[in-house]
Chains A and B, each alone.
Chain A
Amino acid sequence: MATLVKAISGWGRYPLQTCELERPERYADLLSDADSLIARGQGRSYGDAALNENRRVLLTERVNRLLEFDIEKGVLRAEAGATLAEILEVIVPKGWFLPVTPGTKFVSLGGCVAADVHGKNHHNDGSFGDHVIAIELILADGSRVACSASENAELFWATVGGMGLTGIIGEVKLKLIPIQSSHMMVQHHAAANLEQLFQLLQNPAMDDRYTVAWIDSLATGKNLGRGIAMCGHHAAVDELPAGFGNALATKPERSRTMPFDLPGWALNTLSIGAFNALFYRREGNKQQPFLTGYDPYFYPLDAIGHWNRLYGKRGFVQYQCVIPDGVAFDGIRALLQELSGSRRPSFLAVLKRFGAQGRGLLSFPMAGYTLALDLPIRDEGLFALLNKLDEIVLRHGGRVYLAKDARLSADSFRAMYPRYGEWLKIKNAVDPQNRFSSSLARRLQIGEGTL
């Protein structure tokens, strides 16, 4: 099949690498003759997970058909190239919602399985893979196998969170959750510092199905870790005001596109500090529950197309890590101290509580707290800071999220993902030639090198 040689990147726009793109349109063509390939859905992983420098990248965007939708049982089967946005358009009006959704709906189903993505409800509902009934996986030898928690279970849990390295995810069958309305009932709680914020996130009386906290990453001293816990659930019909109309109706979201790269200096300590102070006061004051659409609640940044341009031409790194329960407070405090000491502003800092670790062998979530930071690349100094953050994470027994990563070391990866050895056995059995590889896999020596 024809290929297109092109320099591409992940959502963080770093690194930029030349790859050979191939774009099948038929399900039967969802494999390549290349020796080394990786599937790429919407390219929304941040670093190099969906890059394969000077090698083949199989674009799945055209293999995106919805195949089955059981409106009674809430089960959807679709080709892996379908996006969550396309799926929501079909399921929400029928009273169903995604069981787990990341912070953007412009991701593919296959990507959600490969990265075993999580949402604001991980502490209650687990990660994406927990709701996958079955997948069809296309193996290196071209065979197609059904995998689920009960059929080829080992391969299934190596593929959930397996970053596309066990094969090409062709189809996904997903269990949906019922909703009564397309709206969310949301409540904000302000916390003056990290201690208060942790207390909020631990307090069952405060908790809701979806809970996430925004952190003012520039606050220091006694304000370190001040933030806002944002809790919400799908609004029930009896929570809607009288005369609301069709509870499941959605209105098309207005979206704008970032038309150019913001110059690197535009986001600085001063501008982000001013924004954070304003945001803390405005959002922190929303102490009463309020109704909002599911789009602004789950996908606030989707309203700005190409928001990654905010960070300038050189791109950015999203650093997301998890610190296990018990030492989470100390670990997160150490990370925030390191960050605020560096005076490298993080435009976005998000903290959330995770529930128990899932069964995906390379899945990211574990019981504890996860912190995500957006850090623009201004100079090489950033990478030194990130290495220091890695040390803090390792010291506390945590790990870094591969779907966001662009710079972790192979040694750190091995220390952070203790089930890698178990995963590698399965990988070697189904892909002995290591055909499914990516720039991330080579950087972290996944599928090659020593344990």
Chain B
Amino acid sequence: MSEAVLILGATSAIASATAAAFAARGAALYLASRDIGELARIAADLRIRYNVEVHHGLFDAEATESHEAFFQAVIEAMPNLSGVVLAFGYLGDQQAARDFNVGAKIIASNFTGAASILSHCANYFEPLKRGFIIGISSVAGDRGRQSNYVYGAAKGALSLYLQGLRNRLFASGVRVITVKPGFVDTAMTFGLPGLFLVASPQAVGERIVRTLEKSADVVYLPWFWRYIMLIIQHIPEPIFKRLKL
């Protein structure tokens, strides 16, 4: 199998673990994010450990006008591109709810930026009738909560976008998979109170790559988050609105 995978937002712990899991099965990689220095380190590491071809380049989710040229550069570097993992995300903070300038950045990164780059990916794979798109959304997008509803709304919108894209690309044989991680042991969650059943980035990265062998369209990681979110989604709104979540 000659796989070539673009990882968007490749410097996060989940993304670099996913990149390593792809490299472990021989995939060539294109790592993209805003932090070029960090990308060069991750790229060197994957080359040495897995003896695979690794490219890296600058990608800014919020600079949507640059996305077309960026994607062209990826195709030039890896003409056999077989899939894309969208792994970038911006959590922001509680202030987002009060200050729209902060909220706008969360929406611009998690949703607008994602929709922009995914449109280029989809338009590329659709006529080729092959390829996959794995979008990393969040359980936060399954129900709005006062603690992070701007982030949740942006991720919820991304989940809906991926759902529509899956519907559109099904006829072309392009897989679209929505991944919703629960608590993962990353910089985003380190030191946060109230965490439970925290998964390692390595375990999540390996599971993300393994979704390609399965038929699921929406994957919760670890699996039990599907049931946690099922319960949370089914709490009646008159009760839910009173909860401190």
Which A residues form the contact surface with B (CB < 8 A)? 1-4, 21, 23-28, 62, 65-69, 79, 86, 89-90
Contacts and interface: CB of A to CB of B under 8 A. Distances in A.
A21 B191 CA distance: 8
Contact of A2 (B44, B48, B192): B192
Interface string B181-196: 0000011001110000
B38 A28 contact: yes
Contact of B41 (A2, A27, A69, A89): A27
B190 A65 contact: no
A353 B13 CA distance: 44
A69 B190 contact: no
Q: Which of B35, B44, B48, B49 has the most CB of A within 10 A?
A: B48
B33 to A, nearest CB: 11
A23 B190 CA distance: 8
A315 B186 CA distance: 30
B43 to A, nearest CB: 9
Contacts of A4: 190-191
Contacts of A86: 49
B11 interface: yes
A65 B44 CA distance: 8
Interface string B30-56: 000001011001101100110000000
Q: Is the interface of A mostly helix, strand, loop or mixed?
A: mixed
27 contacts: A1-B187, A2-B190, A3-B191, A4-B190, A21-B191, A23-B190, A24-B187, A25-B12, A25-B13, A25-B186, A26-B11, A26-B38, A27-B37, A27-B38, A28-B35, A28-B38, A65-B42, A65-B44, A65-B45, A66-B44, A66-B48, A66-B49, A67-B41, A67-B45, A67-B48, A68-B48, A89-B49
Given A4-B190, A26-B35, A79-B41, A90 B49 contact: yes
The 3 residue pairs across chains A and B that have the minimum distance between CB atoms: A65-B45, A2-B191, A4-B191
A67 B44 CA distance: 5
Interface of B: 11-13, 35, 37-38, 41-42, 44-45, 48-49, 186-187, 190-192
A65 B49 CA distance: 9
Contact of A68 (B35, B44, B49, B187): B44
A260 B199 CA distance: 22
Contacts of A90: 48-49
Quick one: which of A1, A26, A79, A86 has the most chain B CB within 10 A? A26
A409 B204 CA distance: 46
Contacts of B187: 1-2, 23-25
Contacts of A1: 187
Contact of B37 (A25, A28, A62, A69): A28
Given A4-B190, A62-B13, 14 more contacts: A1-B187, A2-B187, A2-B191, A25-B13, A26-B35, A27-B41, A28-B37, A28-B38, A65-B41, A67-B41, A67-B45, A67-B48, A86-B49, A90-B48
Contacts of B44: 65-68
Nearest to A76: B48
A28 B11 CA distance: 12
Nearest to B189: A2
A196 B16 CA distance: 55
A4 B191 CA distance: 4
Contacts of A62: 13
Nearest to B13: A25
B21 to A, nearest CB: 16
A245 B17 CA distance: 33
Contacts of B49: 66, 86, 89-90
A26 B192 CA distance: 19
A25 B11 CA distance: 9
Nearest to A79: B41
Contacts of A26: 11, 35, 38
A25 B41 CA distance: 12
A26 B45 CA distance: 13
Nearest to A23: B190
Contacts of B11: 25-26
A30 to B, nearest CB: 11
> B35, B42, B190 — which one has the most chain A CB atoms within 10 A of its CB?
B190
A98 B44 CA distance: 20
Nearest to B38: A26
A294 B232 CA distance: 52
Contacts of A68: 44, 48
A67 B42 CA distance: 8
A449 B29 CA distance: 54
Contacts of A3: 191
Contacts of B35: 26, 28
Contact of B48 (A21, A23, A69): A69
A62 B17 CA distance: 11
Contacts of B13: 25, 62
Contacts of A27: 37-38, 41
B147 to A, nearest CB: 16
A67 B41 CA distance: 6
B48 to A, nearest CB: 4
Contacts of B192: 2
Nearest to B43: A65
Contacts of B48: 66-69, 90
Contacts of B37: 27-28
Contacts of B186: 25
